A and B are shown apart, each in its own frame.
Chain A
Amino acid sequence: MIELESGPFHIMKIHAEKIFPDECCGFLFGKEESNGNRKISTLKEVENAKPGDKRRRFEITGKDYMQAERFAAENNLSLLGIYHSHPNHPAIPSEHDRVAAQPFFSYVILSVRDGKTDHIRSWRLNDDAQFEEEIFTSAQLNPSITWQQ
């Protein structure tokens, strides 16, 4: 399970809606509990560096990634995942998402339809390099959003 505190949850949602119809992206930081549950306390928005069509692709630069690792180490947090949006598409990982995905990370995807967040789901790679869904939750769920688990 991955749980976002209300602060990072709202920042992520606003980011996705502000950037629409492009794809947004960013890093998720927090702690992993001994039972494997993840609590996200901090979020960093990142510029989508994909050259060309940002409505269908996202990319994070190596320098932004290294900064994220440094930020985690300096603040005694773990870099636990990535979020990005799927404008006018469901929050299901695409083949583009799967081939570039890393083990361990949670991949939170926001489906944004016509500028409003429709639903959010989270995924992790299994040992066979296939995505499996994990439960996504937040302390302050917005009842206007349809949550799928």
Chain B
Amino acid sequence: MATVIIPTPLRKFTNQTAKLEVSGGTVGEILEQITASYPDLKKHLIDPQGGLRSYVNIFAGDDDIRDLQKENTPVQSGTVLSIVPAIAGGI
């Protein structure tokens, strides 16, 4: 089982749950599991083409999965995955 940390702004879609214990062999499988369990989360994580939204980052431990194998990044038991919203803007 991996632990998935839900960021504060998305907790209203997980009944205010901050940590989920989810089984899956890759980051992609785990995303499928949590969006199946919490369908309102999906549009905030997944783009219409089925990929990870550009304003969402997933970290495995301290590493951005875009620097690893993206959604194919393997997940071990005990891995901590953090969903991290991109915080950006400007004038």
Report which A residues bind B (CB closer than 8 A).
23, 25, 50, 56-60, 62-63, 65-66, 69, 72-73, 78-80, 82, 84, 86-87, 89, 93-94, 96-97, 99-105, 107
Contacts and interface: CB of A to CB of B under 8 A. Distances in A.
A69 B5 contact: yes
Contacts of B12: 103-104
Nearest to B82: A66
B62 A69 contact: no
Nearest to B85: A102
A79 B88 CA distance: 16
A86 B89 CA distance: 10
A2 B41 CA distance: 26
Given A23-B91, A104-B11, 18 more contacts: A56-B91, A58-B88, A58-B90, A59-B86, A59-B88, A62-B59, A62-B86, A69-B8, A79-B8, A87-B91, A89-B91, A93-B89, A94-B89, A97-B90, A100-B87, A101-B89, A103-B9, A103-B10
B90 A60 contact: no
A113 to B, nearest CB: 13
Nearest to B5: A69
A88 B64 CA distance: 34
Given A73-B18, A102-B9, A103-B9, A65 B84 contact: yes
Nearest to A79: B8
B14 to A, nearest CB: 12
Contacts of A87: 91
Interface in B18-38: 18
A97 B84 contact: no
B69 to A, nearest CB: 17
B88 A60 contact: yes
A78 B9 CA distance: 10
10 contacts: A50-B90, A57-B90, A60-B87, A65-B85, A65-B87, A94-B89, A96-B90, A102-B10, A104-B9, A105-B8
A63 B59 CA distance: 9
B44 interface: yes
A131 B34 CA distance: 28
